[in-house]
Structure 1
Amino acid sequence: MADTFDEQCDYLFKAVLVGDSGVGKSNLLSRFAKDEFLLDSKPTIGVEFAYRNIRVKDKLIKAQIWDTAGQERFRAITSSYYRGALGAILVYDITRKSTFGNVKKWLHELREFGGEDMVVVLVGNKSDLVQSREVEKEEAKGLAETERLCFMETSAMQNLNVEQAFLQMITKIHDITSQKMLEAKKENGTTLRISGRKEIHVTDEVTATKQASCCSR
């Protein structure tokens, strides 16, 4: 059945949201996908996902974002969903030091099950609750620099930096994908020698990562 996601797009990028339970992953996703915030949001059971079309430069990208459960009892069923993910938003709660302490555990999981080129954005959510802050911004920024992650603080409630966090991830995925395509074309190019010692490089213009149609499934 046709819906708003049937619009023609150039790429389909899968990404995941990870982090402890209660850090605000579901509200970050609902803000990004539907501009909604639920004050009484319930814990995610298993995995949920949402789509949104984003234009990066001259390409239309369908971002497929998977929201994974943070509770330990669901880890076995969610780890398989990392496969094929090109990016991740790793979320902690700035008012709960323990959620920041678990960032390295989540990062290890991402690197174990995700691809080596996965783009990871470390997000400190609930930045509106500054009076209850337990994780300083500089501390999180230092960890991000050490682990080579992008970093941003957000507030799903006040809709601060939510769009920017997702766009930063999607744009970086696009840049990496574009670079890989260029390199693949060079590697697969056939060199034809003609008179005058000139060379013509012939490359295949069909790209395996390009989607003919990115309708919702």
Structure 2
Amino acid sequence: MLKRLFRFVVKTSIWFVLLSVLWVLLYRFIDVPFTPLMGIRSFQAQDSYEIRHTWTDLEDISEEIKLAVICAEDQNFIQHNGFDLKAIEKAYKDNKSGKNLKGGSTISQQTAKNVFLWPKRSWIRKGMETYFTFLIENLWSKERILEVYLNSIEMGEGVFGVESAAQYWFQKNAKQLNRHESAALAVILPNPRKYNPAVRTPYLERRKQWVLKQMNNFGELSLAEK
């Protein structure tokens, strides 16, 4: 009995690894058409739910929004291998001291969660997130990770990706986003269904000014460093 159970676990694990690697490799080359979160939001909606999602290649996205999300979410994105231990340690200390809850997740981790997993926190999901982060960091380039991230991130009620966000919030395409609009979009990412980037509240304005300062200090963005 134990021998058969062991064989079943081994076979299941092998199939899981093979299929997950193939899944990640597939998204290395083709656009991500749909994410689990889109399905969850549609299922949770009581009324008809419109999903706004238009894929846009990285070269057709403003350099300003690329820099803004990196400065707001993961300033060590280019250097790390998917996990920023200093950010995780800082988030742990902040959460323990009673400050606002922060996840410490990198752009790579967020991409793994957004594209392959579900949003609800659990140890199982965190373990799967770690596994898929390892895969995309080793099977995708940094450019591809950022491209998928910018096309899958939730940026409003039913709004997914920077192209749809630019059209929905600013009536322009992602290539035309300027520095201030990009910073305004970046600051809503922790809670995109609560905040409106087109409305200037004291909190969002403080966050926006902080992101703009980080963008000025960061300098020119080059994804070819790794």
Same fold (TM over 0.5): no
Greater helix content = 2
User: Larger Rg: 1 or 2?
Assistant: 1
Greater strand content = 1
TM range (shorter): under 0.3
